[in-house]
Amino acid sequence: MLCSLPGFAQADRHDVRAGNRKFRGGRFQEAEIDYRKAALKDSTSLHAQYNLASALYRQENWQGASEALASVKDRPDLTAAYHYNAGDAALQQKDYQAAVDAFRQALLLDPADLDAKENYIYAKKMLENQQNGGGGGGDQQDQQDQQDQQDQNQDQDKNQDQQDQNQNQNQNQDRQDQNQDSQDQQDQQPQISPQQAQQMLRAIQAKEQETQDKVNREKAALLKSRQKEKNW
C-alpha cells in the first residue's frame, strides 16, 4: 500500500503540508490537488511527486501513480519505500517486469523488508507465467476461465438431459413390461367352451340345492326336538 512521506531533506512547502493534512484525513482527492500545486511550483520536488503518487494510488488510479513516481525515478536520494510503492503500482497494472525491478531495488536498500521480499517473489512468479504464455491471471486467463465455466455448465446440462432421457426410457420400458405381463397372464388363462360353462353352472346350482336341502332338514330336526322338550 502506498503511503505519503512525512518529509525529505528539504523543507516542506505550503501546498505539500496542506496535502499531507488532507491525506491523513482520508481526503485523497483534495490532497491530490495540493500535491499537484506543489509540483507545478517546483517540478523537482521529490516530496510533491511521491505524495501525489500516493494520493492517486489511494484513488485506484494506478497509471497516474506510476507516472508520478516515474517523474522522479532518476533521483539518487530515493528511499526503499519509493521503490516498494513503485513495484506495488506496477503490480496493479500487471506490469510484472517493472514490479520485479522495483521490488529488487527496494530489497537492495532494505534487505529486512519482508513485504518487499514476498512481493518480489510473487511478481517474479507472475512474470514467469506471463512469459510462458500463462498470462499471469490477465484478461486472456479470465476469458479462458469463463469459457471453461461455460463448457462445464454445458456438460452438466448434457448429462442432466441424458439422465432424464434414460429415466424416461426406463419408465416406458417398465410400463411396456407390465402391459406384456398382463397380456401374458390373459393368454395363459384356459379357454372353455359354452357347453363346458353350462355344465359348470349346473354343477354349481346342484351343489347349492344340495346345501339348501341339508339346511332345511337340520331346521326340521331342531324344530321337532324343541317340540318334545316343550311337551315334557
Range 69-96 burial, b when 16+ CB lie within 10 A, else e: bebbeeeeebbbbbbbbbbbbbbbebbb
The Cα–Cα gap between 26 and 68 comes to 20
Q: Which of 15, 14, 17 is nearest to 5 (CA)?
A: 17
* Average predicted confidence (pLDDT) for the chain: 76
Average pLDDT over residues 112-138: 84
Query: By mean pLDDT, which of 13-22, 42-51, 134-143, 145-154 is the weakest?
Result: 134-143
Q: Does position 117 have pLDDT exceeding 70, yes or no? A: yes
* Domains within the chain, CATH numbers bracketed: 1-75 (1.25.40.10), 79-136 (no CATH)
Can you give the pLDDT at residue 210? Answer: 86
Q: Looking at residue 35, what DSSP letter applies?
A: H
pTM to 2 decimals? 0.50
Query: By mean pLDDT, which of 31-35, 53-57, 217-221 is the weakest?
Result: 217-221
Q: Does position 6 have pLDDT exceeding 50, yes or no? A: no
Contact 10, 47 (CB under 8 A): yes
Span between the terminal Cα atoms of the chain, in Å:
127
Query: By mean pLDDT, which of 61-70, 72-81, 141-150 is the weakest?
Result: 141-150
The Cα–Cα gap between 71 and 47 comes to 12
Question: What distances in angstroms separate CA 79 from CA 13, 57, 102, one per listed residue?
Answer: 20, 18, 11
